[in-house]
Amino acid sequence: MFSFHHVTMSVRDLSVSEGFYKGLGFESVYRWQDDAGQLQICHLRLGQALLELYCFRPEDETELSALPPWASGYRLGLRHFALQVEDLDRALSALHGAGLLADKPSPVTGQTCLRYVFIMDPDGNSVELLEGPLVEIQRPE
């Protein structure tokens, strides 16, 4: 009945965020802007995953409180999403070399993966990079 479609993240600058996620291997597949130029949407694909970047810029920032819930971009919600990589050290070096990371964070040992690290996109959204293999999570009896 249900199937995963996409994750949406609110961003401040669509071009900056789109460039960041392209550096992580995402490919732009759709871009839209409303006639007033207040709302921009970009869909990026990585394998079967679809990421929607949502950039809302009202003329008056006080308008944010008067918007319907779907338009309110700055609220609690997404904690992070994860991308699996074959070699975490190589991935971090590539991101640092491309200027997407100011510093290379140190990976830590994971409970459900070999190693992982969290990085931030230009708007402070958290992205987990994890190195396999993933382990089977124990289910309660």
| pTM, rounded to two decimals | 0.69
Rounded to an integer, the average pLDDT of 32-36 is: 86
- pLDDT over 90 (residue 29): yes
- Domain end (from 22, 49, 76): 76
- Domain end (from 29, 60, 76): 76
Q: Identify the pLDDT of residue 70.
A: 45
- Domain end (from 44, 76, 108): 76
| DSSP letter string, 60-86 | SGGGGGGS-GGG--SSS---EEEEEES
Are 69 and 121 found together in one domain? no
Q: What is the CATH number of the domain that holds 13?
A: 3.10.180.10
Q: Closest by alpha carbon to 105, among 86, 126, 84, 123?
A: 126
Q: How far apart are CA 73 and CA 75, in angstroms?
A: 6
- Could you report the per-residue pLDDT of 120-138, keeping only the tens digit for each? 999 888 888 888 766 555 4
Q: How far apart are CA 79 and CA 116, in angstroms?
A: 16
Are 68 and 89 found together in one domain? no
Instruction: Measure CA 51 to chain center.
Output: 7
Domain containing residue 68: 1-76
Are 68 and 105 found together in one domain? no
Question: Token pair of 89, please?
Answer: 């050290």
Give the total number of structural domains in the chain: 2
Q: Identify the pLDDT of residue 66.
A: 53
Question: Token pair of 49, please?
Answer: 């995953």
Are 19 and 62 found together in one domain? yes
Are 64 and 87 found together in one domain? no
Are 66 and 90 found together in one domain? no
- Report which DSSP code applies to 96: H
